[in-house]
């Protein structure tokens, strides 16, 4: 636990579900309706620093969160992402998985999904 880490100090009223190794909560700055975070309880920076049972716990909770979002918001799809390291855009240095519901028409072009982190490379179907 890191006393300065916002994910090590989550208020219990924000937690949607908790297990021995992970918690799920709504993102405080959602990019879409139902945007959920799945976070390991142990303070780790990277997905690759997790123990196997922690990885399993996160993926199980991710599946649970998807079911909850499907039930409450009926999205048409999901983006699932981890920003692993500062170069990848990680701003809170405690691993967290984003479950981002996607809705028809929420963006002019959804093809390419996470590839849009590099816009010039995203539309690979248009490249020769």
Active-site hit among 43, 73, 94, 96: 96
Looking at residues 90-113, what average pLDDT do you find?
93
Starting at the edge strand found earlier in the chain, the sheet holding 22-26 runs 15-18, 22-26, 36-40, 97-102, 77-81
Alpha carbon 25 to its chain centroid, in Å, reads 10
What number is the average pLDDT over the span 98-106?
Answer: 96
Q: How many CB atoms lie within 10 A of CB 44?
A: 16
What is the CATH code of the structural domain delimited by 12-126?
3.30.428.10
**What are the pLDDT digits (tens) for 116-128?**
777 777 777 787 6
pLDDT digits (tens, 9 = 90+) for 22-66: 999 999 999 999 999 999 999 999 999 999 999 999 999 999 999
- DSSP secondary structure letters along the chain: --TT-TTTS--GGGEEEE-SSEEEEE-SS-SSTT-EEEEESS--S-GGGS-HHHHHHHHHHHHHHHHHHHHHH--SEEEEE---SGGGT--SSS--EEEEEE-TTSSS--TTGGGGGSHHHH-GGG--
35 is catalytic: no
- What is the C-alpha to C-alpha distance for residues 38 and 30, in angstroms, rounded to an integer? 13
């Amino acid at each position: 636990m890191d006393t300065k880490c916002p994910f090590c100090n989550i208020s219990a009223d924000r937690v949607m579900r908790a297990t021995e190794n992970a918690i799920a909560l709504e993102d405080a700055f959602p990019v879409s309706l139902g945007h959920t975070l799945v976070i390991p309880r142990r303070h780790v920076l990277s997905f690759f620093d997790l123990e196997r049972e922690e990885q399993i716990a996160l993926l199980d909770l991710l599946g649970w969160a998807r079911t909850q979002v499907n039930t409450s918001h009926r999205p048409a799809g999901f983006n699932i992402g981890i920003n692993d390291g500062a170069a990848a855009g990680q701003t809170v240095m405690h691993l967290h998985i984003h479950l981002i519901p996607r809705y028809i028409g929420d963006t002019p072009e959804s093809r390419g999904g996470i590839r849009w982190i590099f816009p010039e490379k995203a539309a690979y179907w248009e490249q020769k």
